[in-house]
Amino acid sequence: MQFGSVDVFQGQPKERNLKKELLTGLVSSTAYTVIILALMQFKILETTALFPVKIM
């Protein structure tokens, strides 16, 4: 999904650097995960917001 969005927003076809794109994807995914975990740790984001409890 990330690679597709880069293609859409660039507009012009450009030579791709797969190594750079993979590294960028890995860094952005890791940063996103760390931010979500920090928000959960400091009780800013409740886990029920991510995983709603289903009552039968």
| 3-state DSSP assignment of residue 17 | coil
pLDDT score, position 1? 59
| Buried residues in 35-46 as b, exposed as e (16+ CB within 10 A) | eeeeeeeeeeee
Q: State the Cα–Cα distance between residues 30 and 44, nearest whole angstrom.
A: 19
Whether 45 and 39 have beta carbons less than 8 Å apart is answered as yes
pTM: 0.64
Give the model confidence (pLDDT) of 36-51 as tens digits: 999 989 989 888 777 7
Residue whose token pair is 């009552």: 55
- Which pLDDT score, from 0 to 100, does residue 29 have? 92
